[in-house]
Amino acid sequence: MEVLIYLVPMALALGILGLVAFLWSLRSGQYDDLEGAAWRAIMDEDHAREPRDQ
């Protein structure tokens, strides 16, 4: 059971990492527009830049 000495802190650290990542994404406004974000993922980069190149 000595393995717990490594496993428990590791589990906690991973959990906290996840939480920090969530809080960061929240702070950077990634939850402000859930509908739009869904579509941005499939946005064609070239197509979006086209007018700028013209």
Partner 1 sequence: MNDVRDLSHFVEHLNGGIARLHLAIDGMTCAGCMFRIESGLTSVPNVEKARVNLTNRRLAVEWRDGTLDPAQLIDRLAELGYKAQPFDPERAEVAEAHDAHFLLRCLGVAAFAAMNIMLLSVSVWSGNLSDITPEQRDFFHWLSALIALPAAAYAGRPFFYSGVRALSTGRLNMDVPITLGVLLALGMSVFETLHHAEHAYFDSAIMLLTFLLAGRYFDQNMRRRTHAVASNLAALKAEMVCKFVSADEISEVPVVAIRAGDIVLVRPGERLAVDGVVVDGRSTIDQSLVTGETKPLSVGKAANVYAGTLNISGTLRVRVDAAASGTLLDEISRLLEKAIEARSRYVRLADRAARFYAPAVHLTALATLFGWIAVGASWHDAIVIAIAVLIITCPCALGLAIPAVQVVASGALFRAGVLLKAGDAIERLADVDTIVFDKTGTLTLPDPEVVNAADVPHHVLVLAGRLALASRHPLATAVARAVRAKAPIDGAIEEAGRGVRACVNGIEMRLGRPSFCDAEAQAAAVARQDPEASAVAVAYGEERHVLSVRQRIRPDAAASINDLRGQGFAVEILSGDRRQAVEHVAQALGVDNVRTGVAPADKIHRIEELKRAGRRVLMVGDGLNDAPALAAADVSLSPVSAAQLTQAAADAIFLGDTLAPVAAALALARRAKRIMRENLAMAVLYNAIAVPLAIFGFATPLVAAIAMSGSSVLVTANALRARKLAEKATRWKF
Chain contacts with partner 1 (rule: CB under 8 A): 1, 4, 8, 11-12, 15-16, 18-19, 22-23, 26, 31-36, 39, 43, 47-52, 54
Structure tokens at 11: 């589990």
**Cβ at position 22, least distance to partner 1 in Å:** 5
**Cβ at position 5, least distance to partner 1 in Å:** 11
Q: What is the dihedral of CA 19, 21, 25, 28, to 10 degrees?
A: 110
Integer CA distances (angstroms), 39 to 10, 17, 34, in order? 36, 27, 9
Q: Which is nearer to partner 1, 6 or 35 (CB)?
A: 35
